[in-house]
C-alpha cells in the first residue's frame, strides 16, 4: 500500500470516527434536550404531551393564584398573542411576580395546561446587583 493510500485510509477512518461520535452525542442529547416555546408557538405547533420543554413569556397580571397549601401556584404565561395556564408546586423565585418574565420548565398535559417542575424568573435588562449599584453610586458612575 502506498503512502498516499495509507493517508487516505486514515483520513476516512478519522471522518468515520467523528461522524460516529456526533451520532452518539445527538442520540444522548435527544432525551435530555428541552426545547423552548413561547405561548404563541404552543398554539401554532403541536407540542407533544409529556415531553420536557421550556415555556417562556410574561406572567399575566391578575392571574397568580396561590392555593391554600401555600406551595401550589396557578398563573398564566402570555406573549401578548396567546396564553398558557401553568401550575407549579414549590417555592417560587424571589423575582417571580405578575408582569415579569418567567421561564417554566416542565411538560404539557392533555388538557393544554402546563405543569412546571422548575421556575426561572427573569428581570429586565437594566438590572444591576445591589452591591454593584451601591459601588457605582459612591463613585458617581451610576447614571439614572
Structural contact between residues 102 and 119, judged by C-beta atoms closer than 8 angstroms: yes
Bridge partner residues of 73 (DSSP): 66, 88
Distance linking the first and last C-alpha atoms of the chain: 74
CA dist list (Å): 88 to 15, 17, 91? 46, 44, 9
Q: Which residues are annotated as a binding site for heme?
A: 123, 127
- At 27 the three-state DSSP class reads helix
Q: Which residues are annotated as a binding site?
A: 123, 127
Distance between CA atoms of residues 107 and 54, nearest Å: 8
Sort strands 101-108 and 53-59 into parallel, antiparallel or unpaired: antiparallel
Amino acid at each position: 500500500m502506498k503512502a498516499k493510500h495509507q493517508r487516505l485510509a486514515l483520513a476516512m477512518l478519522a471522518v468515520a470516527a467523528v461522524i460516529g461520535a456526533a451520532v452518539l452525542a445527538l442520540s444522548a442529547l435527544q432525551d435530555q434536550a428541552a426545547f423552548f416555546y413561547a405561548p404563541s408557538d404552543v398554539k401554532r405547533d403541536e407540542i407533544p404531551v409529556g415531553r420536557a420543554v421550556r415555556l417562556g413569556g410574561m406572567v399575566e397580571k391578575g392571574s397568580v393564584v396561590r392555593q391554600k397549601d401555600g406551595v401550589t401556584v396557578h398563573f398564566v404565561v402570555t406573549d401578548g398573542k396567546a396564553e398558557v395556564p401553568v401550575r407549579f408546586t414549590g417555592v417560587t423565585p424571589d423575582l417571580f411576580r405578575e408582569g415579569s418574565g418567567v421561564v417554566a420548565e416542565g411538560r404539557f398535559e392533555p388538557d393544554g395546561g402546563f405543569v412546571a417542575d422548575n421556575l426561572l424568573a427573569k428581570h429586565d435588562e437594566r438590572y444591576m446587583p445591589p452591591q454593584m449599584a451601591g459601588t457605582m453610586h459612591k463613585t458617581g458612575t451610576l447614571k439614572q
